[in-house]
């Protein structure tokens, strides 16, 4: 039976020397992509002025994760994670280079944009689970909440500085040079990966062919079910995503039609969310969170839901109330999300990380269009204010139910039992976890 190599407990004194050069390169690439994305969205908006075109672009970006995400995760668990990161970054950089050439030659058409968006999403469904798995191999378990808090803070910073940097770049540079920024930052992300090794788990002998890969994918789903409380926690979080889907997507309409705000007001509210993400992420980086990650996750999500209730109840012309509520959503969202991801990384066996993370991301992603599909007609009939109130109440009830489920709380015990220990082999771990009763 295979055992996991020296991967689950990285040497605490040296893990940062390997992890942070990779993380910093990825952070710069994230900023470069945000600048390019802003420029591309503005180009679409300026060219077409069509909400349908923008909505279609957003929708096609989700399709690869929904349709192929779990299968991509199965391949990530078969392949060398460092090589997956290099190839996916290089593939996305080549797409950015093609986009820059299309702009430079004046031959860009809308269908090109759709193809490039789908291509970038395809690269992402391999890159994201590989990065999650690599992080779990490089970072000690007890440090994972802090690292995830740092990532949430970075996400907030990108939300704040990405659009202004994109606007400045558009003012100073032609479009093809703005797109080339994404190429340069992707190259910076690849550079440390060429020199820094990422530990790989020892894997059992795997079959070949499409049927074997599909079997690996199904093994990942069965593995999730074998961990006490994991399936329940994921289903609850997907339910929260479903209720939350319209909140951010319909925020521009809420600010304009309910509060009487303008574009500047929307910018203030969105910036408040980014500031909250940074503050919450930095708090988690310094603090690390409570021992009970169930209380941390769903307590934070419940406070977010209460903030949404405050938004729904805010009187007209009180933009500051919504800005404060949206700041709170960013702050507690960073805490809840970083805690959930750290628990996932610290509990799941290293050789299962790719397919498990991909399956979870696919579930979260599919909840978004489903939530929007129901929210749009609901808002048309009952109004946006009612939609926000219902979403807030629904999310609060889901979180309170999650905090009372013993099956979910048992996952805290599993996480603490594995902390600081070498994870057993996948088959042995699955049997051990599956032998425990699972409450539903």
**CB distance 133 to 76 below 8 Å:** yes
Is pLDDT larger for residue 52 or for residue 289?
A: 289
Structure tokens at 79: 């392949």
**Cβ count within 10 A of residue 335:** 29
Cα gap 232→405, rounded to integer Å:
9
CB atoms within 10 A of CB 409: 20
411 or 272, greater pLDDT: 272
Tell the burial category of 110 from Cβ atoms under 10 Å away from its Cβ (0-12, 13-18, 19+).
middle
Question: What per-residue confidence (pLDDT) applies to 94?
Answer: 94
Six token digits for residue 2: 């295979």
Give 224-233 pLDDT, tens digit per residue. 788 777 888 8
Q: Residue 235: is its pLDDT beyond 90?
A: no
Q: What is the pLDDT of residues 76-97, one digit of tens each?
A: 888 899 999 999 999 999 999 9
Q: What pLDDT was estimated at residue 24?
A: 92
Class of domain 15-434: mainly alpha
Q: Give the integer Cα–Cα distance in Å for 365 and 382.
A: 26
Summarize the confidence of residues 240-268 as an average pLDDT: 79
Which residue in this structure is represented by tokens 């629904």?
Answer: 394
pLDDT grade for 183, boundaries at 50, 70 and 90: very high
How high is the pLDDT of residue 210? Answer: 61
Residue 422 has pLDDT above 50, yes or no: no
Give the number of other Cβ atoms within 10 Å of residue 205's Cβ.
Answer: 5
pLDDT at 202 over 50: yes
Residue 23, C-beta contacts closer than 8 angstroms, at least 6 positions apart: 147, 150
Delimit the domains of the chain by residue range: 15-434
Q: Taking a C-beta distance cutoff of 8 angstroms, is the pair 297, 347 a contact? A: no
For residues 299-305, average pLDDT: 93
Residue 35 predicted with pLDDT over 70 = yes
Average pLDDT over residues 238-251: 82
Does residue 247 surpass a pLDDT of 60? Answer: yes
């Amino acid at each position: 039976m295979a055992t996991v190599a020296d991967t689950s407990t990285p040497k605490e004194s040296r893990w940062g020397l390997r992890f942070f050069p990779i993380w910093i390169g990825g952070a710069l690439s994230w900023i470069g992509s945000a600048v390019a994305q802003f420029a591309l969205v503005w180009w679409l908006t300026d060219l077409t002025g069509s909400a349908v075109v923008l909505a279609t672009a957003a929708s096609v970006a989700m399709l690869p994760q929904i349709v192929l995400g779990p299968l991509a995760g199965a391949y990530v668990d078969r392949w060398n994670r460092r090589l997956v990161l290099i190839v996916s970054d290089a593939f996305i950089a080549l797409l950015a280079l093609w986009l820059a050439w299309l702009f430079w030659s004046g031959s860009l058409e809308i269908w090109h944009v759709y193809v490039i968006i789908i291509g970038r999403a395809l690269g992402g469904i391999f890159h994201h689970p590989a990065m999650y798995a690599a992080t779990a191999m490089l970072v000690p378990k007890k440090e994972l909440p802090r690292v995830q808090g740092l990532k949430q803070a970075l996400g907030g910073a990108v939300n704040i500085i990405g659009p202004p940097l994109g606007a400045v770049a558009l003012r100073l540079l032609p479009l093809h040079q703005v797109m080339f920024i994404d190429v340069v930052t992707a190259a910076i992300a690849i550079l440390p990966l060429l020199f820094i090794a990422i530990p790989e788990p020892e894997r059992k002998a795997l079959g070949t062919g499409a049927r074997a890969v599909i079997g690996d994918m199904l093994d990942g789903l069965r593995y999730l079910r074998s961990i006490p409380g994991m399936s329940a926690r994921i289903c609850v979080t997907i339910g929260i995503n479903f209720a939350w889907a319209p909140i951010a997507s319909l925020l521009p309409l809420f600010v304009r039609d309910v509060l009487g705000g303008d574009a500047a007001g929307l910018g203030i509210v969105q910036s408040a969310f980014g500031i909250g993400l940074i503050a919450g992420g930095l708090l988690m980086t310094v603090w690390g969170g409570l021992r009970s990650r169930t209380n941390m996750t769903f307590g934070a999500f419940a406070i977010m839901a209460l903030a949404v209730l405050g938004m729904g109840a805010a009187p007209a012309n009180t933009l500051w109330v919504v800005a404060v509520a949206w700041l709170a959503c960013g702050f507690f969202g960073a805490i809840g999300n970083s805690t959930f991801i750290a628990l996932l990384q610290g509990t799941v066996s290293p050789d299962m990380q790719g397919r498990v993370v991909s399956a979870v991301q696919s579930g979260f992603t599919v909840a978004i269009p489903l939530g929007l599909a129901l929210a749009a007609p609901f808002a048309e009939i009952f109004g946006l204010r009612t939609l926000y109130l219902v979403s807030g109440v629904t999310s609060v009830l889901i979180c309170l139910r999650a905090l009372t489920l013993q099956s979910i709380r048992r996952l805290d015990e599993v996480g603490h039992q594995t902390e600081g220990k070498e994870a057993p082999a996948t088959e042995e771990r699955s049997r051990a976890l599956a032998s425990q009763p699972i409450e539903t």
